[in-house]
Structure 1
Amino acid sequence: MERSTAIVTGGNRGVGEGICHVLASKGYDIFMAHYQECDKAAKLAKELKERYSVKVVSFDCNQRDPDIGEQLMKRALAEFQEISLVMCNAGVGLEKYMHLIHPEEIDFVYEVNFRGSLLIANAAAKYMMQEGVKGTILFTSSIRSKTPTPMDAIYGGLKAGLNRAAQSMAREYGRYGIRVSTISPGCMCVYPEGYADRDYSEEISRIPLRIGGDGYDIGYTAAFLASPEAKFITGVNIFVDGGVSCGEDYWSEADEYTASHGRGTYVINGPKENGGEK
């Protein structure tokens, strides 16, 4: 592919770090936005440059700023000639029962996860539209947009809203060749700072594929959605979750026994097995 640039917000850690690695490996230069983690961002930028021979620029910014979209695009375009992919990945979590939540906590998650992401995406879409760039805008959503828990009304609700907003943007900007979609991660075993020894075995036991994901899985999905192979795909939400979004897992001990020993074969008008003819 021709050298182009990808903006990745929250690109210096966790899922964002994996996204940056994958996009850099695909030949993208990287504009990495982060919030007050300059040392961590600089370390990753150095690694990406050395490993993939790409240009990497980091930008310290606060996604809660009302003018974050204009800020980010102005800085990115001062560093790079063309931007064809914007990955709105930055976000904050909140697990708390509604009856314990304070208004300022709702505002904080809304301003970062929903408003900030949409402001960045919209500024990017305006640039692409004006410059004739047939680019791709993606949001990191969450499996919680579909599978609620008692403690994620705000986080999951806003992620669901992000999915719906992306669909409207896909319709608004599709006529300009701009594609907009969301990616919903499931259990991401990214071991954030402070949780290096976290055991994900309980979460993995509930995943149909019996494995956990990481930022690279989200990066590969983003790379596909931004590629020519996905030129007819927009307005979708792709779950990258090992199958959890397919429904509840009702696997029981009896099922485990059957899977190990077999149930036998029923043959119409044939010999009796496991209880008789069928």
Structure 2
Amino acid sequence: MASSKGVALITGAARGIGRAIALRLADDGFDVAINDLSDSAEELKEVADELETKGRRVHTFFGDVSQEQDVIDMIKSVVDALGSLNVMVANAGICIMEKVLDTTVEAFDRIHAVNVRGTMLCYKHAGRQMVAQGRGGRIIGASSLAGKRGYNIVFAYAASKFAIRGLTHSAADELGQYGITVNAYCPGATETRLFQIDDAIRQHLISATPLGRTGVPTDVAKLVSFLASEDSAFITGQSISVDGGNLFD
């Protein structure tokens, strides 16, 4: 087995952007820990099997990032199994497409529990682990184009992704003294299971994108690869768009 660049943990890794990030970081030379909910067990196993074919050490942990004990247990499990935590990718998130007049308190709270609280808990406990290790690290969160410009069809989702930018900037300010960078990626319209919109909206988004297409998960994974690398050592507190130059950005 080739020497490792370190250990990367990716939440929400069973499919879509999380899966693409896990595979890319394995290609980059990281040993990889992957997380998702237990109802995604079959898909997560497929990702684990693919990672192992790349010759990397792999660890799987099922848990809900919105629950603090699950996040504490996840970090401990990764460190026990793989020896350290060097890159934390807080990718897990959900989207409920509702306008402001239709958004229920239940939907609003659910989105914020996963997207905002889940990201906060990953930042907090990964940050504590990296500080204790004393070797710096990379923390990377999942914001969105909707975290830079609100859309009426994703009222609560947009609010949660704006919040992740705030968490990212604040954590970067605190953790920089320990050599830990904190950044976020902000995908535009990207072809994943979450991206369920009608053709009229799809075409509207594409028409506002100079590159003339929607994104794919590997577009985001390439940015995360850079943010996890030594080449990004002097970049922190940034929320970087991966959106084809979307004119709404």
The corresponding residue for 1:98 is 100
- The answer on 1:38 being equivalent to 2:57 is no
4+ runs of 1 displaced by more than 6 Å?
A: 198-201
- The answer on 1:48 being equivalent to 2:26 is no
Distance 1:200 1:26, change over 3 A: farther
The corresponding residue for 1:159 is 161
Question: Aligned equivalents of 1:115 and 1:64: distance in 2?
Answer: 6
- Checking the alignment, whether the CA contact within 8 Å between 1:18 and 1:214 is kept in structure 2 is no
Question: Aligned equivalents of 1:230 and 1:193: distance in 2?
Answer: 29
Q: CA deviation at 1:30?
A: 1.0
Question: Aligned equivalents of 2:29 and 2:231: distance in 1?
Answer: 16
- Checking the alignment, whether the CA contact within 8 Å between 1:22 and 1:220 is kept in structure 2 is yes
Distance 1:111 1:188, change over 3 A: same
Q: CA deviation at 1:194?
A: 11
Match of 1:82 among 69, 73, 84: 84
The corresponding residue for 1:113 is 115
Question: Aligned equivalents of 1:136 and 1:84: distance in 2?
Answer: 6
Q: TM-score with structure 2 length normalisation?
A: 0.91
Match of 1:59 among 50, 58, 61: 61
Deviations 1:86-116 (A, max 9, x none): 0000000021122222211111111100001
Gaps of 5+ in 2: none
- Cα RMSD for the two superposed structures: 2.1
Which amino acid in the other structure matches residue 218 of structure 1?
V
The corresponding residue for 1:224 is 226
- The answer on 1:208 being equivalent to 2:204 is no
Question: Aligned equivalents of 1:194 and 1:148: distance in 2?
Answer: 16
Which amino acid in the other structure matches residue 234 of structure 2?
F
- Checking the alignment, whether the CA contact within 8 Å between 2:57 and 2:82 is kept in structure 1 is no
Q: CA deviation at 1:153?
A: 2.1
User: What SS is found at the alignment partner of 1:30?
Assistant: strand
- Higher-Rg structure is 1
Question: Aligned equivalents of 1:53 and 1:114: distance in 2?
Answer: 34
Return 172-181 or 99-108, whichever deviates more.
Answer: 99-108
The corresponding residue for 1:142 is 144
User: What SS is found at the alignment partner of 2:101?
Assistant: helix
| Matched pairs, number | 243
Gaps of 5+ in 1: 249-278
Distance 1:135 1:55, change over 3 A: same
Q: TM-score with structure 1 length normalisation?
A: 0.82
Match of 1:73 among 69, 72, 75: 75
Q: CA deviation at 1:44?
A: 1.4
